[in-house]
Amino acid sequence: MENKKFTPEEEERMVTKAYQEMLSGYLQSNHRKKMEIIERAFKFAREAHKGVRRRSGEPYILHPIAVARIVSQEIGLGSTSICAALLHDVVEDTDYTVEDIESQFGKKIAQIVDGLTKISGGIFGDRASAQAENFRKLLLTMNNDIRVILIKMADRLHNMRTLGSMLPSKQYKIAGETLYIYAPLAHRLGLFAIKTELEDLSFKYEHPEIYKQINEQIAATAGHRNEVYEKFAAPVRERLAAMGLKYEMTARVKSAYSIWNKMEAKHIPFEEVYDLYAARIVFKCDNEADEKKLCWNIYSEITDLYRLHPDRTRDWLSTPKANGYRALHLTVMGPDGNWIEVQIRSEKMNEMAERGFAAHWKYKIGEGEEESELASWLKTIQDILDNPEPNALDFLDTIKLNLFSSEIVIFTPKGELVTLPVGATVLDVAFYLHSEIGTHCIAGKVNHKLVPLSQKLQSGDQVEVLTSHSQQPQPEWINFLATAKGKTRLRAALRRDRRAVIERGEKDFAAFLNQYGLEPDNNVVNKVLAMEHLQHRDDLFFMIGCNEIALSDSMIVRLKGKQQASGSLLSKILRNPFANKSKNVDAEPTITTVPDSIDKKQTYVLTSENGVSNYIIAPCCHPIPGDDVVGYIDDDRHVIVHKLTCPNAMRLKSSFGGRLLSTKWDNKREKFLASIHIEGIDRMGILQELIYIISTNMAINIRGLNITANEGVFSCELTVLVEDTNVVTALCKQVKKVKGVNSAARMN
């Protein structure tokens, strides 16, 4: 569709149709109808973007109209937001100013457009520091008017829906930053429908083959799934009808992205993902006071019919999630012997679940419960903004902690309720209460029992924090914290007394350089500062002292340069992180060449022949041919290859989009190491049988084998030399046929 030509008449029809569809949705909403100002905003934006086209060849004005439609129909905002959405790119892309917008449309619309302009071009720039600063601006605007981020979310959703016309490298960058920040932000704002679509679209562009395959499998199993669901639903409907309820009961299939996540996390094929769908009951309730009682009445009727899973009931009626989500979830055994989750909600709860409480902000409903929930979350974010990390990527990671986490609820000794992420510790509670309590925390009492400050908490725990004036914060405490607030406050406390850390970092840096015959003079320190995008040597030494910057062999390669390093040293440095992991261990030491030129618009072919490669395998994820991978050009123009799913690749995609390369493996295959985890029931001779199948039947070279057995169950870590992922898949399939083997899957 790229650069498609349209006649003026076709363009006019397209624009008119899109605008009328947006308007008709607005006219069906509950908002007061302010047609005149929307009409003026549309004409103003159309004139401002006259003659401009998107990459697809369509008139640019179609994008603001689409964003306005999402804002109105999918998020539920009114005329002010629709006007701001129509005008959101005018100041950024044309000669008009914010003052022009204010004179035409008033102060409020101008403020929102101004907020959107400040964070334009996506949150993320090519440099991490710019990225973090833009994201900080975005969060600050949320305090002024939450509609800024809601319109930005609509803008990103439309960009993702039209991502097909972009270059592959741009698709990776935009999909990566969407998964890294926008989807978690949508989740935290309660925009579940948008969050799910953003995840699925990102998945579609990052893993097109797997995305297509899972959707085909969902479609292929639809008939059987519907049959099972109808058997399950029929008796439930009878019970609900007898209660006299007005309700709707539907089966909601998991998204392709969430199914794939489960397959990856549990190392299972599609066929073993049993909870493919959840049943949802949405009932009408005119009296809000009766909602909770009706939810539990429905729960009672369902558990009379089906066996309840004792550990999978979730009561978000009494204690809603931090993003305002309220519902009652239970899991019961279905007629086919598989577990089925049932979600019970009133119509109001369902509206909140799909659109989020952000849409009910004070400009619409005034002071209320939803506002206090959002205000509480923004207050936590403000803590991080007041103490930004010196390292831009750490700043983003800290924010992300606060965006996307499952939650637990704990109680203080006075019975006050505190919502924390899963994995939170006593130390998190201490820092949540106050910075001083956190820095002087020595231990805690959980349910009146003494525990260390690193103790992880469970939902429902009562927690008391114990302190001592002699206690001082320690850098290793960072490993005990799961909350963004805790990490931010600890780092702030450490920075206040960081001289000792700086001295330790300086000493470690000098000792590290000494191993390679280098001195920590100004020239070397300045080079490392540039590599790490830092300005001050104290910041560098502090981050080394806190283990936030790794002293790795690749740093030496970049410092010495390829010409200055001796052949043996260069070979050692380039091989060391990967030699025992990903490269052919039977081959000569691999030398990595630097390409003469790289065309980012073309797909980069990963070649390796006679011990010479034009890429480096990332040591964090060890991709092999057949994996979906992305290339990253480092400061020395080496192409580093990561799996698309690698957490480090996620950070690179969201921070250094301009350095990404669309890549593919060539057809000449060297051999790579792959690790496989096997579990099963122990029996005499099972090890010999496994070795026979792998080595003799499949002629695969085993390079490592570690097997342990305990009380009749065995676990095996197997390392083999393979050409690509197809060999690994075939191997796992054969191993699972061995009597007693329960699972065999490649380890990430």
Closest to 660 measured CA to CA, from 205, 145, 31, 68: 205
Angle at 670 between CA 666 and CA 676, to 5 degrees: 110
Which of 21, 93, 100, 538 is an active site residue? Answer: 93
Query: Rounded to whole angstroms, how far apart are CA atoms 57 and 360?
Result: 37
pLDDT, residue 43, reads 92
Range in 493-497, 628-632, 652-656 the model is least confident about: 652-656
Give the long-range contacts of residues 609-616, CB within 8 A, separation 24 or more.
Answer: 609/668, 609/670, 611/587, 614/639, 615/639, 615/640, 615/641, 615/663, 616/574, 616/578, 616/592, 616/640, 616/641
Read off φ and ψ for residue 473, nearest 5 degrees. Answer: -65, 145
Q: What is the CA radius of gyration of the chain?
A: 28
Contact 640, 631 (CB under 8 A): yes
Structure tokens, 283: 């009932």
Element (H, E) at 9: helix 8-27
* DSSP type of residue 500: H
pTM of the model as a whole: 0.66
pLDDT, residue 363, reads 38
Contact 465, 450 (CB under 8 A): no
Percent of the chain surpassing pLDDT 70: 82
Read off φ and ψ for residue 640, nearest 5 degrees. Answer: -95, 130
Alpha helices, DSSP H, located in 356-419: 362-365, 369-386, 392-403
**528 has pLDDT over 80:** yes
* DSSP type of residue 700: P
- Highest mean pLDDT, choosing among 165-179, 231-245, 272-286, 416-430: 231-245
Q: Quickly state the pLDDT bin for 282 (edges 50, 70, 90).
A: very high
Contact 411, 417 (CB under 8 A): yes
pLDDT, residue 54, reads 82
Structure tokens, 250: 């539907």
Query: Rounded to whole angstroms, how far apart are CA atoms 176 and 218?
Result: 25
Q: Quickly state the pLDDT bin for 656 (edges 50, 70, 90).
A: low
Give the long-range contacts of residues 371-379, CB within 8 A, separation 24 or more.
Answer: 373/320, 373/322, 373/323, 373/324, 374/146, 374/189, 374/324, 376/322, 377/188, 377/322, 377/323, 377/402, 378/142, 378/143
pLDDT, residue 50, reads 86
Read off φ and ψ for residue 145, nearest 5 degrees. Answer: -160, 115
The β-bridge relationship of strands 701-710 and 713-722 is antiparallel
Contact 181, 400 (CB under 8 A): yes
Query: Rounded to whole angstroms, how far apart are CA atoms 352 and 276?
Result: 24
Q: Quickly state the pLDDT bin for 303 (edges 50, 70, 90).
A: very high
Contact 469, 440 (CB under 8 A): yes
pLDDT, residue 197, reads 93
- Mean pLDDT, the chain, rounded, equals 80
- Highest mean pLDDT, choosing among 112-116, 509-513, 655-659: 509-513
pLDDT, residue 95, reads 84
Q: Give every CB contact of residue 103 below 8 A, 6+ residues apart in sequence.
A: none
679 forms beta bridges with: 715, 743
Which of 10, 12, 39, 92 is an active site residue? Answer: 92
92 tagged catalytic: yes
DSSP per position, 417-468: EEEEETT-BHHHHHHHH-HHHHHTEEEEEETTEEEETT-B--TT-BEEEEE-
Q: Is 3 helix (H, G, I), strand (E, B) or coil?
A: coil
Identity of the amino acid at 652: L
pLDDT, residue 391, reads 54
pLDDT, residue 382, reads 61
Contact 59, 70 (CB under 8 A): no
Give tens-digit pLDDT for 309-322: 888 888 888 888 76
Give tens-digit pLDDT for 554-603: 777 777 654 343 333 333 333 333 333 333 334 334 556 666 677 777 78
> What count of other Cβ atoms lies within 10 Å of the Cβ of residue 166?
18
Closest to 72 measured CA to CA, from 146, 22, 18: 22
Structure tokens, 63: 């994008």
**288 has pLDDT over 60:** yes
Q: Which residues of 488-498 are buried (b: 16+ CB within 10 A; e: fewer)?
A: bbbbbbbeeeb
**Mean pLDDT, range 81-108, rounded to an integer:** 89
Give tens-digit pLDDT for 697-714: 888 888 888 888 887 888
